Chains A and B, each alone.
Chain A
Amino acid sequence: MRDVAIVATAQRPSQIGTQLTSVELILPVVAEAVKNAGIQRQDVGFWCHGSCDYMSGQPFSFVAAVDAIGAWPPIVESHVEGDGALALYEAWVKLQTGECDIAVVFANGKTTSGPIDRILTLQADPYFVTPLWPGFDAMAALQARACLDAGVVTEEQMAEVAVRSRRDAKSNAVAHLKGDYTVDELLSGPYTTAPLRAHDCSVPVDGANAVVLAADDVARRLAKRPAWIRGIDHRIDTQRLGARSLTTSDSTRIAAEKAGVGRDKVDVAEIYAPYTHQELLLRSAMGLDATTTAINPSGGALVANPAMAAGLARFVEAAEAVFAGRADRAVAHSTSGPCLQQNLVCVMEGD
């Protein structure tokens, strides 16, 4: 195996209702990440993009994104119909093949330009679920009720996740929903999709981010303290909500084991949890202890969820914690699909 690290990152502040095109969202973050790595565009051996055509309502809309990276001289590029975190996985595999030494991964999500709750329902079973149009919030609410009934979480614990996320977001320039709240204050709010309240659901925003990956000595040359990827694994549960436990996350547990999360202390964990109860489930599935691990110190996806970029944002935040020495060992997690169907877990370490 080659040693592969994140050596540079960039992300744009969250916005609601942006009028920018996807290309305009991507171009500045790609340029900034390339600049932060101290490389030229021509040095990049592989480009990998994560986004969702269903969100732009146009097949092959992602092809336009090539305008943001420039196709001359000829480039090697790929697109993942999904979160940028999955594009990062593809780039990591590409670097492992030895075909290139530097890869750039980027993601964009114009989440507020369409009815995202309805659009994401297209990820559900196309014969049994999507024709009923339940929406992502309602499916998450079914999971939350199952967790509450089983005593796995409480509404107070769920509100505590929101309070901590919004408080931590105050020091994050790219976060959207920030401020000081109390559990009582949040629990006094009405249910939106019971048993979920507004604070239990992430805030859809428009955003984009980019990550530069490099292998071996190239990574050592490009970064003072690279965030070395020591383990990365992606697992998927059945799409049938009724056929899997909604009070645990087997795919997360297996991915965390394969990625080696439990081998040593984790200083920072950036978890893509679009709903408060899901953060609690994911922490438990990965065996993370909130008394020794800083959970989502960026505020997490709860305070800013640019769909298809929110998973890669976790990698950006975890890598930056390693760059800055705030973490010797960090975990980045990404999810997709209804009720945490797919989960990707990555362990990064500083030298």
Chain B
Amino acid sequence: MSGASIGSLHGDSFVAPLEVAYPYSRTVGTALSRFFTSLKEGRLEGTKGSDGRVYFPPAEFDPQTGEQLTEWVTLPETGHVVTWAWQSTPAPDQPLDRPFAWALIALDGADVPLLHAVDAGSIDAMSTGMAVKVRWAAERGNGITDIACFEPVSDVPGGRS
């Protein structure tokens, strides 16, 4: 339990806090531990499937064969949009608080894409196949949200950061 008090008297009523939560921590296992630790340190690591396809985020077990996957691959911060959708009104807890795109993004060198947000500014800036790169969160150590979102990579010379 957290250190919250067990309750107190308010007039004639005893009032106690009710926290609906799992008040314990858990391990995510060897593969995801390595993945989340590397994200915290600013590295992007995926695993290679039994058919040679590279998964990012890593698959601990091959989705096709169930085989345990142990070969790791370090990937760059750049990739492309495989498919996308436009969130015109952001909802609570989503990665951005202004209109943005959801996308399946394949990092360069990865075959299996991940779902994340793209801070494109406008729906007109989005297209299937467009190049994007990782924008890291200012504070890391929080899992998949260590990637704050992706941002478009400009094709204009000098536009690449």
Q: Does B159 contact A (CB under 8 A)?
A: no
Complex interface: stretch among A45-53, A123-131, A180-188, A324-332: A123-131
For A193, the closest partner residue in chain B by CB is B85
Query: Is A73 positioned at the interface, with any CB of B under 8 Å from its CB?
Result: no
A194 touches B88 (CB 8 A): yes
Residue of B nearest to A141 (CB): B85
In the assembled complex, the Cα of A142 lies from the Cα of B123 at a distance in Å of 14
> In the complex the two chains form, is B114's CB within 8 Å of A145's CB?
no
B63 touches A240 (CB 8 A): yes
In the complex with contacts A142-B102, A142-B104, A238-B63 CB distance below 8 A: yes
- In the complex, chain A residues whose CB is within 8 Å of the CB of B86: 141, 191, 193-194
Q: Is B103 an interface residue (CB 8 A)?
A: yes
B63 touches A135 (CB 8 A): no
| Contact partners of A244 in chain B: CB under 8 A | 63
Contact check, B103 vs A127: say whether CB atoms are below 8 A apart: no
Q: A145-B128, A240-B112 are in contact. Are A132 and B85 (CB under 8 A)?
A: no
Considering residues B28, B59, B115, B123, which has the most beta carbons from chain A within 10 angstroms of its beta carbon? Answer: B115
A127, B104: Cβ atoms under 8 Å? no
A247 to chain B, nearest CB (A): 9
Q: Are A242 and B114 touching (Cβ within 8 A)?
A: yes
Size class of A's contact patch? 20 to 34
Are the C-beta atoms of A118 and B32 separated by less than 8 Å? no
Of residues 49 through 105 on chain B, the ones whose CB sits less than 8 Å from some CB of chain A are 55, 57, 59, 63, 82-88, 91-95, 102-104
Q: A127, B144: Cβ atoms under 8 Å? A: yes
> How many of chain B's residues touch chain A, expressed as a range?
20 to 34
Q: CA–CA, A144 to B145, complex, Å?
A: 25
CB pair B115 A132 closer than 8 Å: yes
User: Scoring A residues 135 to 154 as 1 if CB is less than 8 Å from chain B, else 0, what string do you get?
Assistant: 10011011111100100000
Contact partner of B144 (CB less than 8 A), chosen from A118, A132, A196, is A132
Is B143 an interface residue, CB under 8 A from the partner? yes
Cβ contact within 8 Å between B59 and A243: yes
Chain B positions within 8 Å of A117 at CB level:
91
On whether the beta carbons of A128 and B114 are closer than 8 Å, the reply is yes
**A132-B145, A145-B128 known; A194+B112 contact, CB < 8 A:** no
The docked-state distance in angstroms from the alpha carbon of A191 to that of B124 is 13
Cβ of A134 under 8 Å from chain B: yes
Contact between A243 and B112, CB atoms less than 8 A apart: yes
Taking a contact as CB atoms under 8 Å apart, the answer to whether B144 and A128 are in contact is yes
Question: Which residues from chain A contact B115 at a C-beta distance below 8 Å?
Answer: 128-129, 132, 134, 139, 142, 241-242
Asked whether B85 lies within 8 Å of A241 as measured between CB atoms, the reply is no
User: Which of B28, B59, B82 touches A146 (beta carbons < 8 Å)?
Assistant: B82
Contacts A127-B32, A243-B63; is A133 near B88 (CB within 8 Å)? no
A-B residue pairs, 3 tightest by C-beta: A141-B85, A238-B63, A242-B113
Beyond the given A129-B115, A240-B112, could you list 14 further A-B residue pairs with CB under 8 A, ordered by the A residue number?
A127-B144, A131-B143, A133-B91, A138-B87, A139-B102, A142-B103, A144-B85, A146-B82, A191-B88, A193-B87, A195-B85, A240-B63, A242-B106, A242-B112
21 A–B pairs (Cβ distance < 8 Å), ordered by A: A118-B91, A118-B92, A128-B114, A131-B145, A132-B115, A133-B94, A134-B94, A135-B91, A138-B85, A139-B115, A146-B82, A191-B86, A193-B86, A193-B88, A196-B85, A240-B63, A242-B106, A242-B114, A242-B115, A243-B55, A243-B63
